[in-house]
Amino acid sequence: MASKENSYFSDFIKGLWKENPVLVQFLGMCPTLAVTNAVVNAIAMSAAVIFVLVASAIIISLIRKFIPAQVRIASFIVVIATFVTMADRYLAAFYPELSKALGPFIPLIVVNCIILGRMEAFASKNNVGRSILDALGMSFGFAIGLLLMSTFREILGNGTWLGYEVLGNWWDKWMVMILPPGAFLTLGTIVGVSKFLQTKFKKA
Amino acid sequence: MEKQYASDFKISSSPHLRGKESVPKIMYWVVGILMLPVASSIYFFGMNAVRILLISVIVSLLTEYIFLVSRKKDISLLFDGSAIITGILLALTLPPGLKSSYVVIGAFVSIALGKQVFGGLGYNMFNPALVGRAFLQASFPVAMTTWIPPVIQKMVDAKTFATPLGGFKFSHILTPYKNLLIGNTGGSLGETSAILLIVGGIILLIKKYIDWKIPTGILLTVFVLEGGLYLINPEKYANPLFHILAGGLLLGAFFMATDMVTSPITPKGTWIYAVGIGVLVVLIRVFGGLPEGVMYSILIMNAFVPLLNRYTRPKILGEGGKK
Amino acid sequence: MKSRIYMVFVLTFVAVISSGLLAYFAVYTQPYIEKNKKKEIDKAIMEVIPGVKQSEPIVNESKFKIFKGLDEKGEIIGYAVYTIGTGFQDMITVMFGIDKDLKTLFSLKVLDQKETPGLGAKITDDTEFLRFWKNRNIEEGIRLAKHLKEMKELKINEVNAISGATISSRAVVKIINDALQKVKKEVK
């Protein structure tokens, strides 16, 4: 955030790459590892996180001046839990298949560090506009991480992308990629490559 | 790590090799001894064995080469023998009918993920060949548990064939000891011939290239635990001798658990490591869902090696006892 | 003292607003969620009893349900059984249809499972597993065939195991046989 003029822009853009919650801050690892075995799960998870993060950021930054410091975390959690429960019920009511596939990981967004972290670090100290931008940037960053992971895992592990055949019948599915070990292998590889790219760009 | 076996003065981390032995010399002795199970695999499984062994060794060397070049290391490290051993060991743990493309993936993963990402020989935590095998097992579970009968066993008309351990676990059939000893039975390429593995292991022990505590600890633990179960209920549990001879236990105990890089360096730690592998093998074989568990047992205990080295460090002279 | 009261007030206020919102949202989504669950079970009943037009629950426990399957005239043509049992690593939920004399199993459907993908998860696969479950005799329970056979070679009470996933196949057989025992007690 160099100057005031571009600070709005940087509020948004920092979450996408420089401070990407998945690839740089290593926040929200639980859903990142658990639900990225299929692209559709990653999209649903990202959508839920975008909704919860943005909605909570709006509310928290609106009421930030009324909340005493001693009970701020408790209040944040109540607000976050409200939106998470709404997202969970919504999925269960209108997308039962997705809700089944995501299992307990939607309710677990409550304890996702990305959300509480952004509330504490940003939304509780900034105005609504900037908080929304920050929340959007961070949640899109999270979505990018999840999409990258799930793209690799679904293509290698199932030969498909978002359910569409990509590699065809000759491909022997690498089952390991849609199993838990595949999540760790993919995360390690993606973080390694992104670190490599970051240092390369810095040098140039 | 430039030339690992250079004679120049340099300070390196343990284990400190002393005497005339050098890494390549030991490695090539091991390669030579590995020719025993290699010979049995070719005798019993024919061209399939040759195919898998060749692909595995070539891809291992190729992967090692790519990594050495891209990490700007000394190319002569390619022939320190370790990549060849990994290639042979991986091939020996694979089912004889495995598709060539799977062997390529396995060998690549062994060297790339099992060894080079950690920094090369001496820095890897897990036995590279077993990392490759575990990856294949998780990726292609059906292909990795489909066994074809030895080529000389003509009487079998079925396309698939049970391993001695699988046969016992799922249908309660005991394979005759003669077949287990000679190797005329189903299983991974190099694990079937118990007698050749024992001979190879004894040569390694005599040459002191492996720590005698590791095979002794593993085999004794398995024998005692299985023996106990057998005494309790001979109907349900197999004879302990059967468990020693069947499956990959001998191959694992002599050639894989003893890998210098991935086994502990302290005597006490080595005993704990060996007994731990034995206990895990029995747990997986008897109570687990899979018929065989040598691979996972060794990998799990590999993970404990840094801890074992740390907590079983012998006292430095003058450090004093507990008060 | 004042700040403490203020603290309590703020937290209570936030909690009350949130619970109000949630209560409204719960009431709003409840019928949809129930409908989804019912639809899933109804759909499964239609699939496991051929020609069924409507169904009525006889036993309705959380882990074990029996439904009477009726044709258009309201006559009973079979039972659909919903049961949950232990698989290789987690619970397996299945639904199967049997005729009204408890002699034949029409077909089997796996509703939910967390077996190993590519191996045990093939219990949901028709060509490798479920097709062998069509029209089995269940008077003495179901058994796994000793080795893989063609459909017509299988005995009337045998099914094929999935190669490489004997444990999951066995688990399903056990779940079915256990459920059949219970059904025989409940339906006389």
Give the residue with greater pLDDT, A147 vs C128. A147
CB B182 within 8 A of CB B195: yes
CB contact under 8 A, B139 and A181: no
C164 touches chain B (CB under 8 A): yes
- What are the tens digits of pLDDT across the range B45-65? 888 999 999 999 999 999 999
pLDDT of residue B12: 61
Measured between CB atoms, which of B142, B160, B171 is closest to C119?
A: B142
For residue B13, pLDDT over 80 is answered with no
CB atoms within 10 A of CB B77: 22
Task: Grade residue B190 by pLDDT with cuts at 50, 70 and 90.
Answer: confident
Would you say residue C112 has pLDDT above 90? no
In total, chain C counts a number of residues equal to 188
CA-nearest residue to A180 within chain B is B138
Please spell the DSSP secondary structure of B212-277, one letter per residue.
THHHHHHHHHHHHHHHHHHHH-TTTS--HHHHHHSTTHHHIIIIITT-STTS-SSHHHHHHHHHHH
Please give the mean pLDDT across all residues of chain B: 85
Residues C169 and C54: beta-carbon distance below 8 Å: no
Which candidate, B322, B122, B144, B153, places its Cα nearest to that of B248?
Answer: B144
Token digits for A94? 């209108």
Q: Does the pLDDT of residue B7 top 70, yes or no?
A: no
Q: State the distance between the two ends of chain B, measured CA to CA, in whole angstroms.
A: 42
B99 touches chain A (CB under 8 A): yes
Structure-block tokens of residue B170? 């799922």
Which residue in the set A68, A85, A93 is minimally distant from C33, CB to CB?
A: A93
Residue with tokens 């747990």: B283
> Domain ranges in chain A?
9-150
Q: Where are the domains of chain C?
A: 46-186
pLDDT of residue B2: 45
Report whether pLDDT(B10) > 80. no
What length is written for chain A? 204
Contact residues for B207 (Cβ-Cβ < 8 A; gap 6+): B29
DSSP-assigned letter for residue C111? E
Contact yes or no for C158/C144 (Cβ under 8 A):
yes
Interface of B with A in 121-140 (CB under 8 A): 135, 138-140
Q: How confident is the model at residue A204 (pLDDT cuts 50, 70, 90)?
A: low
Look at B234-238, C3-7, C115-119 and tell me which has the smallest mean pLDDT. C115-119
- Would you place residue A23 in the very low, low, confident or very high pLDDT band (cuts 50, 70, 90)? confident
Pick C10's closest partner by Cβ from A75, A86, A175. Answer: A75
In the block, residue with structure tokens 């046989």: C177
Spatial distance between the Cα atoms of B188 and B94, rounded to a whole number of angstroms: 5
> Is residue B141 less than 8 Å (CB to CB) from chain A?
yes
Task: Render pLDDT for A129-155 as a digit per residue (tens, 0 to 9).
Answer: 999 999 999 999 999 999 999 999 999
Instruction: For residue A78, list chain C residues with Cβ-Cβ distance below 8 A.
Output: 11, 14-15, 18
Q: Which of residues 130-149 of B touch C (CB under 8 A)?
A: 140-142, 145-146
CB contact under 8 A, C164 and B142: yes
Residue C116 forms contact with B (CB below 8 Å): yes
CA distance B123 to B12: 12
Quote the radius of gyration of chain B (alpha carbons, Å): 20
Over pLDDT 90: what percentage of chain C?
26
Query: In angstroms, how far apart are the furthest CA atoms of chain B?
Result: 70
- Please state, rounded to an integer, the average pLDDT across all residues of chain C: 87
Per-residue pLDDT tens over the stretch B68-97: 998 888 888 888 888 999 999 999 999 998
Q: Please tell me the predicted confidence (pLDDT) of residue B15.
A: 56
Chain A residue closest to C40 (CA)? A96
Mean pLDDT of C121-131: 84
Residue C132 has pLDDT above 70, yes or no: yes
In which band, very low, low, confident or very high, does the pLDDT at A58 lie, cut at 50, 70 and 90? very high
B–C: how many Cβ contacts below 8 A? 18
Contact by Cβ (8 Å): B247, B294: yes
pLDDT of B92 reads: 94
> What distance, in Å, lies between the first and last C-alpha atoms of chain A?
21
Closest Cα to residue B207, out of B31, B9, B15, B11?
Answer: B31
Asked if C74 reaches chain B (Cβ–Cβ under 8 Å), the answer is: no
Q: Hey, which chains touch B, using 3+ CB pairs under 8 Å?
A: A, C
| Mean pLDDT of the region B117-130 | 89
Q: How confident is the model at residue B305 (pLDDT cuts 50, 70, 90)?
A: very high
Query: How sure is the predictor about B323, in pLDDT bands with cuts at 50, 70 and 90?
Result: very low
How far apart CA B181 and CA B186 sit, in angstroms, is: 12
pLDDT value at residue B192: 85
Answer for the pair B114, B86: CB distance below 8 angstroms, yes or no.
yes
**Cβ neighbours for C98, distance < 8 A, ≥ 6 positions apart:** C78, C79, C81, C104, C105, C106, C138, C180, C183
Q: Is B232 on the interface with A (CB under 8 A)?
A: no
Look at A70-79, B152-161, C81-90 and tell me which has the smallest mean pLDDT: B152-161
Shortest Cα distance from A190 to chain B (angstroms)?
Answer: 14
Please determine, for residue C114, whether its predicted confidence score (pLDDT) is greater than 90. no
Query: Which residue's structure tokens are 């006889």?
Result: C58
* Residue ranges of chain A whose CB lies within 8 Å of a chain B CB: 172-177, 179, 181-182, 185
Checking if the pLDDT of A2 tops 50, the result is no
